[in-house]
């Protein structure tokens, strides 16, 4: 079921989403080669809790950490570890959620550590640009396929692939609500959007093929061909006259 | 007193045909003119040139967009449009 939010509910949701935004800005300023992914996870947990919120990911479906930290060929859901050091030249996806006042916020960025290769840099920039391409001109009169199809066309025109096995999602009182928001589809097709619909739009794109697999830990999703992958996500609300990004 | 404006400042036009319209400053030129965009009719590819004296600061700066512009990173019209929503509603 899709839960449409009133403007008052969206105002409450802003708080969780701004905490997510600020947490990612904090990570951006601190993340560097030599720190472990467990350290980054600790920063995130402490920061979110210092704002009076809870990290939504912790314990979700048994997930053992507050943050998903996904390096290079890990697409999403990389589990932080004290043994996993971040290295120069890596691209590191940091995906996190916060819960406060009954609502969740969700956002992800892929950070470039030190000097990265041109191909990784372009991949990361394309994931971000694909998000904005997807939401450009979207209103409550648009269809879900307008977002999905435009992301797919944009990404594939640059020679990359969009992951099929994972999608964006509705968000609100639950971290994952309906509808699923794929990064592939046909413009003009699919569910009609609605004034007050809150969704997480999150292009996950690979340098190589779109096939992925889940590791034995049950969480870590990796590209099958081990090509690098980039992720960019924001929670947005659809209004009659456009889209508002809540996590920026 | 005139409030100072920067790249990333959110401003209102106070002179010209666009009086009352809300923009974000995307750059300045050598003569001190500001180039402003709103992501809709004034897009980043063709921002509007305005005399700084004809802009009124909202007092707010969107630091995320400002930092990206100053670092010459790509900024998107939908990003600006979203950032200005709260101000345009006022």
CATH number at residue B20: 2.30.30
Spell out which residues of chain A touch residue B10, defining contact as CB-CB under 8 Å. Answer: none
Residues 6+ apart with CB under 8 A from A17: A98, A105, A107, A235, A246, A247
Please tell me which of the candidates A125, A136, A236 has its beta carbon nearest to residue B77.
A136
Q: What is the largest CA-CA distance in chain A?
A: 48
Least Cα separation, residue A164 to chain B (angstroms): 25
Q: How far is A186 from chain B, CA to nearest CA, in Å? A: 21
Local confidence band at A71 (pLDDT 50, 70, 90 cut-offs) = very high
Say whether pLDDT at A188 is over 80. yes
Average pLDDT, stretch A69-92?
98
State yes or no: pLDDT of A14 exceeds 70: yes
Tokens of A240: 């009659």
Q: Is the per-residue pLDDT at B89 higher than 80?
A: no
Q: What pLDDT score does B2 carry?
A: 56
Q: What is the ipTM of this complex?
A: 0.82
Answer yes or no: is B32 within a domain. yes
Other residues' Cβ atoms within 10 Å of the Cβ of residue A192: 12
pLDDT reported for residue B86: 78
What's the rounded mean pLDDT across residues A171-188? 97
**CB–CB of B79 and A242 under 8 A?**
no
Span of A74-83, A91-100, A116-125, B56-65 with lowest mean pLDDT:
B56-65
Q: What is the mean pLDDT of residues B47-71?
A: 94
Find the residue in A nearest to B62 (Cα): A248
Rg of chain A over Cα atoms, rounded to whole angstroms, equals 17
Q: Tell me what pLDDT residue B4 has.
A: 81
Give buried/exposed letters for A72-106 (b at 16+ CB in 10 A, else e).
Answer: bbbbbbbbbeeebebeeebbbbbbbbbbbeebbbb
Comparison of pLDDT for B58 and B90, the residue scoring more: B58
Instruction: Give pLDDT, residue B84.
Output: 94
pLDDT in tens, A147-167: 999 999 999 999 999 999 999
The verdict on residue B2 lying in a domain is no
Euclidean distance between CA atoms B12 and A233, whole angstroms? 30
Q: What percent of chain A has pLDDT over 90?
A: 100
Backbone angles phi, psi at A49, to 5 degrees: -70, -30
Nearest residue of B to residue A11, measured between CA atoms: B86
| Alpha-carbon distance values, B61 to B12, B26, B51, B75, B84 (Å) | 13, 11, 18, 15, 11
Cβ neighbours around B3 below 10 Å, total: 11
Q: What is the pLDDT of residue B53?
A: 93
Chain B residue with the nearest C-alpha to that of A138:
B78
pLDDT range class, residue A169, cuts 50, 70, 90: very high
CB contact under 8 A, B81 and A242: yes
Instruction: Please say if the pLDDT value at position A103 is more than 60.
Output: yes
pLDDT at A44: 98
Q: List the domain range (segments joined by +) for residue B39.
A: 9-88
Rounded to whole angstroms, the Cα distance separating B8 from A83 reads 40
Cα–Cα distance for residue pair A192/A144, rounded to 1 Å: 6
Q: Which two tokens stand for residue B47?
A: 């921002």
Report yes or no: B22 and B84 within 8 Å, Cβ to Cβ: yes
A45 backbone dihedrals φ, ψ, rounded to 5°: -60, -50
| B3 inside domain | no
Say whether B78 and A128 touch across the interface (CB within 8 A): no
Residue B1 clears pLDDT 90, i.e. is over it: no
Inform me whether the pLDDT recorded for B87 exceeds 90. Answer: no
Which residues of A touch chain B, with CB atoms under 8 Å apart?
25, 125, 128-129, 132, 135-137, 236, 239, 242-245, 248
Report how far residue A89's alpha carbon sits from residue A34's, in angstroms, rounded to the nearest whole number: 12
CATH of domain A7-245: 3.90.230.10
Residue B24 in this model has a pLDDT that exceeds 50: yes
> Averaged over A13-35, what is the pLDDT?
97
Which residue of chain B comes nearest to A24, CA vs CA?
Answer: B64
Sign of CA dihedral A107, A108, A114, A119: negative
Contacts of A211 (CB under 8 A, 6+ apart): A223, A224, A225
Please compute the mean of the pLDDT values over residues A134-143 and round it to a whole number.
Answer: 96
Quick check: is B28 in a domain?
yes
pLDDT of B3? 65
User: Could you say which of B64, B78, B83 has the minimum Cβ distance to residue A132?
Assistant: B78
How many domains does one find in chain B? 1
């Amino acid at each position: 079921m899709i839960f449409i939010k009133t403007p008052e509910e969206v105002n409450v949701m802003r708080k969780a989403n701004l905490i997510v935004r600020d947490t990612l800005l904090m990570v951006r300023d601190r993340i560097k080669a030599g720190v472990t992914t467990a350290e980054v996870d600790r920063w995130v947990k402490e920061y979110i809790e210092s704002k009076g919120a809870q990290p939504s990911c912790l314990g979700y479906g048994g997930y053992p950490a507050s943050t998903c930290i996904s390096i290079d060929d890990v697409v999403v859901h990389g589990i932080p570890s004290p043994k996993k050091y971040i290295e120069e030249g890596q691209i590191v996806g940091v995906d996190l959620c916060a819960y406060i006042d009954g609502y969740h916020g969700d956002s992800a960025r892929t950070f470039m550590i030190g000097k990265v290769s041109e191909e990784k840099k372009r991949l990361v920039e394309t994931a971000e640009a694909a998000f904005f391409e997807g939401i450009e001109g979207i209103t409550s009169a648009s269809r879900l396929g307008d977002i999905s199809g435009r992301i797919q066309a944009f990404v594939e025109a640059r020679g990359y692939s969009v992951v099929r096995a994972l999608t964006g999602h509705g968000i609100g009182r639950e971290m994952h609500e309906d509808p699923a928001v794929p990064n592939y589809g046909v413009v003009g097709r699919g569910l009609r959007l609605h004034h007050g619909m809150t969704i997480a739009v999150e292009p996950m794109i690979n340098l190589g093929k779109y096939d992925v697999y889940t590791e034995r830990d049950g969480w870590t999703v990796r590209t099958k061909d081990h090509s690098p992958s980039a992720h960019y996500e924001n929670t947005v609300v659809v209004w009659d006259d456009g889209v508002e990004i809540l996590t920026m | 007193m005139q409030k100072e404006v920067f790249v990333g400042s959110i401003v209102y036009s106070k002179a010209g045909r666009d009086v009352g319209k809300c923009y974000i400053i995307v750059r300045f030129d050598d003569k001190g003119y500001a180039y402003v965009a709103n992501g809709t009719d004034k897009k980043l590819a063709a921002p509007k040139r305005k005399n700084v004296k004809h802009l009124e600061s909202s007092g707010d700066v969107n630091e995320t967009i400002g930092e990206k512009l100053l670092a010459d990173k790509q900024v998107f019209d939908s990003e600006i449009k979203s950032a200005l929503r709260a101000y345009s509603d006022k």
